[in-house]
């Protein structure tokens, strides 16, 4: 199996080690492989859906400073977003939940633009209706 080096924050590494110590994974590589498989599964689902779809997006991003770009992306897709919820997290970041009804291609484009934002910590999408 090829070896891949990754960089992560100290806090993420601490949590990864905790998962391993709790017995959830036999080693760190197994935990990272699990995370990559989950990401790939999400990608395959999103890439294969077609037609009109309802999607729920969750974006966690750094609150501090300007230029997170999430609002700008939301405005670009405002005709397709049916609801949004904004909250501040306990670690002083921001959480945004957005519901979108759109063609699958629009959903994919929105997801990619959200994920590419500099201050985005995590962006997730769940397809909940429509599509094929």
**So what's the pLDDT on residue 107?**
96
**So what's the pLDDT on residue 67?**
52
Residues 105/55, Cβ–Cβ less than 8 Å: no
Could you tell me if 26 and 79 lie in one domain?
Answer: no
Could you tell me if 35 and 88 lie in one domain?
Answer: no
Could you tell me if 14 and 78 lie in one domain?
Answer: no
**So what's the pLDDT on residue 132?**
66
Please give the Cα distance from 3 to 37 (Å, whole number).
16
For residue 96, report the phi and psi dihedrals to the nearest 5 degrees. Answer: -130, 130
Q: What is the mean pLDDT of each run of 10 residues along the chain (132 residues)?
A: 89 88 87 86 84 94 70 94 94 92 96 90 87 66
Q: How many beta carbons lie within 10 A of that of residue 54, not counting itself? A: 16
Closest CA to 78 of 60, 95, 99, 51: 99
Could you tell me if 23 and 75 lie in one domain?
Answer: no
In a domain, 95, yes or no: yes
**So what's the pLDDT on residue 105?**
96
pTM greater than 0.85: no
Could you tell me if 31 and 59 lie in one domain?
Answer: no
The domain of 117 spans: 51-130
């Amino acid at each position: 199996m090829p070896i891949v080096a990754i960089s992560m924050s100290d806090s993420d590494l601490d949590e990864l080690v905790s998962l391993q110590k709790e017995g959830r994974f036999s080693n760190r590589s197994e935990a990272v492989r699990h995370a990559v498989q989950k990401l790939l599964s999400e990608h395959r689902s999103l890439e294969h859906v077609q037609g009109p779809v309802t999607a729920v997006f969750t974006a966690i991003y750094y609150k501090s400073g300007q230029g997170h770009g999430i609002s700008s992306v939301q405005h670009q897709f405002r005709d397709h977003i049916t609801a949004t919820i904004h909250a501040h997290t306990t670690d002083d970041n921001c959480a945004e939940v957005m519901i979108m009804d759109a063609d699958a291609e629009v959903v994919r484009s929105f997801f990619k633009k959200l994920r590419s934002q500099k201050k985005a910590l995590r962006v997730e999408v769940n397809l909940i209706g429509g599509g094929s």
